[in-house]
Structure 1
Amino acid sequence: MAIKFESNETKESKIPQNKNVDESLMPKTEKERTVGPIPYMFMWIGDGINLGNMTLGASLIVAGAATLNILQTFVAAIIAIAIISTFFALNDRLGYKTGVPYVVQLRMSFGMKGSVISSLLRGIPAIIWYGFQSWIGGTALNEIAKIMTGGAFDSVAICFVVLQVIQIVLSLYGFHAIKWVESLASIVIMLALIYVFGVLLNSHSDAIAEKWVHAKGSWGLPFFAFIMVFMGNYAGIFLSAADYSRELKSGISNKKRGALYFFPILVAYGFVLAIGAMLASATGISNPVKAFAIVVDNSYITFFVSAFIVMGAIAVNMVANIIPPTYVITMLTKLKYKPAVTVTGLLGLVSFPWVLVQDSSAKGLGMFILIYSAFLGPIVSIILLEYYVIRKQKVNVADLYKEDGPFAGYNPAAILAMIIGAAAAFVEVELAWIIGVVVAGISYLLLMKFAFKDSKFKKGTIFENTGSVNASRKIG
């Protein structure tokens, strides 16, 4: 049996079934794609409405004062979301056209062995985010348990474990579970947050205006650093855009897919960010769950808000933090999808997420994002240049699955460019993502053209006729 795929952007491919490749890593056929445009938008709304993004909003308030005022915050948000959506629409095309996942897409640039390193750089932050979202959800679940038991039960650790088990069970059902979880959660959570938004405006408007709205803020480095944090927060997601677009029904243009990212992320991210900043301004606490308990001083309302927070944690994990590392584990260990997704959940349990956010400050979360985005920026630069510039959108998909094919081994140019880009990013960590993108991109083009002249990774690229690759062909 073989999968045959043909399109204007890829060469005709016949992909034989390989017992060493799990079915979940094989290209998705049109019949296997079940996600329509509306559920896809709800998926990104559900992903945007989460406590991680709210905590980023809270991170604006440091020692009782905002580093950015409301205008600067939303200008930074709009700039970041526009860039995020553009990268999403560019990077989702290979997965959308061919049905391959991100870990297979990486082979085009890094090679089969080289993709192990770059896939881990996506998978590890996702697992930590998985644990962080679950810990936030576990904190909210603990609030529910305290209300139900009259304070007799109080253990965030137990609630954290319980929530992680629930998510592991849900994730066993794959994208089918994601669709309905996201559709339900995005609607319910948005309604709950609208209520919280009203409470904050009604009861805490003076503190919010003083500490955030009318703060002096800065249009300098803190402004650009916050754009980088915004983008770094989504860097892993749009890096693995193929993991999502391969599930989307065919026939949707590139521009429409871009809109499917921009508008849901703008609405969800912008709203949740504002509430995070408002909560921190009103309470001085960076942990949104604990801030909610103070702002909403009513056990019944706290119960429902906490329930929505739990749903939000599950929703974002189902989209952003479970599938990508699961594919990485499947690729590295040859495990089937269900055992791999279980291992992902267990790793999330031991990620120590509570270290990132303390009651007084969420700066640890922002620094974590900036550090890992120093590596993810170079990777996304390399794979986009590979697909659009170096290979002119022409890829033989079957070659990506051949262990002894043209993408076997590793591409030294890609590995070296990634290291150079990441090293440059750490020179100014607040601008890590954009520095990594630019430096790695330039380095990769130069290395592919002038270095490693015998590299087989030049075959089929615009650099094929440079160096000894072309000379050997002439001799033959």
Structure 2
Amino acid sequence: MKTQVEQDGIVTLTGEAAESLKDSHMLNEDLRPTTRAEHHWTAYNFSSLWVGMCICIPTYTMASGLIALGMNWWQAIVTIILGNLIVLIPVLLNTHAGTKFGIPYPVFARLWFGSKGAHIPAIARAIVAAAWFGINCWYGGAAIDTLLVSMTGWEHVGGHLFIAFFAFWLLNVVVAYRGPESIRKMESWAAPVLIVMGLALLIWAITAAGGMGPMLSAPSKFQSAGEFFTIFFPALTGTIAFWATLALNIPDFGRYAKSQKAQVIGQSIALPGTMGLFSFIGVAVTSATVVIYGQAIWDPAALMAHFPPFVIFIGTIGIILAALTTNVAANVVAPARAAENLWPRKITFAGGAVITGLLSLVMQPWYLVGDISNYIFVFLGGYGALLGPIDGIAIADYWLVRKRKLALTELYSSTGRYSYASGFNRNSIYALVIGIIIPLLGLFVPGLRFLWDNAWTFGLIISGCIYTYLMRQDPSKLSDEEYASMTVIMNAPKTASDVTGNMIKQGPENI
């Protein structure tokens, strides 16, 4: 019996197959494959998603960390753009799976880790997302705190910064209750607003300073290529790791794409373009503050304190909007889905959002952003070393091992072909461990330091290659004949009557 229909490169369940999964304990409304009607995100939706996520204070201040480490402004911006062009590759490759089969990240992970083993990459991604959730809440809370201090006697309230942080944290959790579709709508109108506000800030800085400022003419502090590359490679890993998180769970959004073309165009333009532009705005504005105020002010919240109350109010709204659009899209969906996947019948997306918020407090975001070297080298580099191997396994499984052929119904069965041995695919676990250990050697063996400095890249390549080798004879793979036996292949019909005609030609037993 045919269980799935492929039309224009998008696969959906047949009505009978969908009905047969209703009682599966591995499925709920959020984890099921999307229907054809739900594939409605356009290139603009994906562009606005990335604009909303990229325009945030961590992006604004990212270049500052690289300049503080010795780079000049253009070396920092080029490093950031290069890192995002590199991470764009796994983003597009993993989005393809979500778009074609309409599955969220935890279900995608069942394919390569097993029905139970999928919790390993899902929870790993969730922990990192919770940390980012806390960091963005901390920045947003600081902006609110600055607004209140400048307009009232708020600074005399004990613990005022933490009160503002918890208030903004609560706002994020409440908004997250509304789910992924509300994120699409919010990003659609927020993206142009954020771009306009960012450009307005840049124009003010250039005008008030009578130019870009001294920072853009300051030379690099490195005396040799060796000194530069000692900083460049770990910094590049840090910039890659910035969105290595979304490179994993991008199927959570890709599953709604109207077509592969829509997701490729929207993401290819918006991700590297927005990261490069907003990082440059951060550098240029900060450079101008040296001329205007006699000191470099990297923190937008601190910069706002120099403006009149109305401008502070508008700026605070912008920072809150930037932090909110980043948080609900980038840092809630993945951990909420991971929580759902642990107990699909009991935990909803809303419940997962609350769990994410609570976990973010445990991660102590005020500590993570307290020291720039700790932020870039320890936090970003550390989780890059963890997520790189998982990215490698995901890409290798879908593109090299299975060659983009899946049995959708089997992903929701605890005894199906993707359950492996007791729910765990040992091959993926072996590949993950090796992909983490080898770069980790660079921390302890001086001559191998380059492995750790490029941990995300080496981890991805090592784990991907090992996984592909170990899975070469795995029985879970579908042959072309097996895929054809369960899939109705349809060309795009032009009218409703054409749809009926195609179904008749296929035969009722195949539909």
Task: State the TM bucket, normalised to the shorter chain.
Answer: 0.7 to 0.9
- Structure 1 residues 34, 10: CA separation in 2 closer, same or farther (over 3 Å shift)? closer
Give, in whole Å, the separation in 1 of the partners of 2:128 and 2:156.
32
Whether the 8 Å CA contact 1:390–1:461 is kept in 2: the answer is no
Give runs of aligned pairs for residues 67-466 of structure 1, distance below 5 A: 67-151=70-154, 155-201=160-206, 202-203=208-209, 205-211=212-218, 214-217=219-222, 219-248=228-257, 250=258, 252-254=259-261, 256-278=262-284, 282=290, 283-284=295-296, 287-290=299-302, 292-293=303-304, 296-334=306-344, 335-358=347-370, 361-366=371-376, 367-408=378-419, 409-426=423-440, 427=442, 428-449=451-472, 457-460=474-477
Task: Write the deviation string for residues 5-61 of structure 1: whole angstroms up to 9, x where unpaired.
Answer: 435586976241135222101111122344332232111111110112123222113
Superposed displacement of residue 129, structure 1? 0.2
Cα distance change of structure 1 residues 58 and 98 upon mapping to structure 2, 3 Å threshold: same
Mapped contact 1:58–1:278 kept (Cα < 8 A): no
Q: Is the 8 A contact 1:143 1:303 kept in 2?
A: no
Distance of 1:23 and 1:199 partners within structure 2 = 48
Does structure 2 retain, via aligned residues, the 8 Å contact 1:60–1:277? Answer: no
Partners of 2:255 and 2:299 lie apart in 1 by 35
Q: Following TM superposition, by how much is the alpha carbon of 1:346 offset from its aligned partner in structure 2, in angstroms? A: 2.6
Match of residue 50 from structure 1:
56
Look at both structures and tell me which one has the larger radius of gyration over its CA atoms.
2
Residue type of the alignment partner of 1:289: A
Check conservation: 2:11, 2:102, Cα contact below 8 A: no
Which runs of 5 or more residues in structure 1 are unaligned?
Answer: 463-476
* SS state at 2:191 partner: helix
427-436 or 368-377, larger mean C-alpha shift: 427-436
- Specify whether residues 461 and 98 from structure 1 end up closer, same or farther in structure 2 by C-alpha distance, changes over 3 A only: closer
Contact 1:137/1:309 (CA < 8 Å) preserved in 2?
yes
Structure 2 unmatched ranges of 5 or more:
443-450, 480-511
Q: Is the 8 A contact 1:279 1:288 kept in 2?
A: no
Separation in 2 of the partners of 1:3 and 1:302? 57
Deviation at 1:239, TM superposition (A): 1.1
Inter-partner Cα distance in structure 2 for 1:209 and 1:41? 29
CA separation of 1:287 and 1:430: change in aligned 2, threshold 3 A? farther
Count of aligned pairs between the two proteins: 443
Question: 1:194-249 deviations in whole A, cap 9, x for unaligned?
Answer: 232234334284431354xx32456523223322222110101011110011122x
Contact 2:434 2:463 in 1 (8 A): yes
Identical-pair percentage: 25
- The answer as to whether partners of 1:44 and 1:265 remain within 8 angstroms in 2 is yes
Given that 2:304 and 2:315 are in contact with CA atoms closer than 8 Å, whether structure 1 keeps it comes out as: no
Q: Deviations over 1:240-283 (max 9, x none)?
A: 110011122x2x244x4222112112332112212333456544
Aligned equivalent of 1:465: none
Indicate how the Cα distance of structure 1 residues 34 and 122 shifts in structure 2: closer, same or farther if over 3 A, else same: same
Contact 2:24 2:412 (8 Å CA) reproduced: no
Cα 1:415/1:165, change in 2 over 3 Å: same
Residues 1:417 and 1:364: Cα distance change in structure 2 (over 3 Å): same
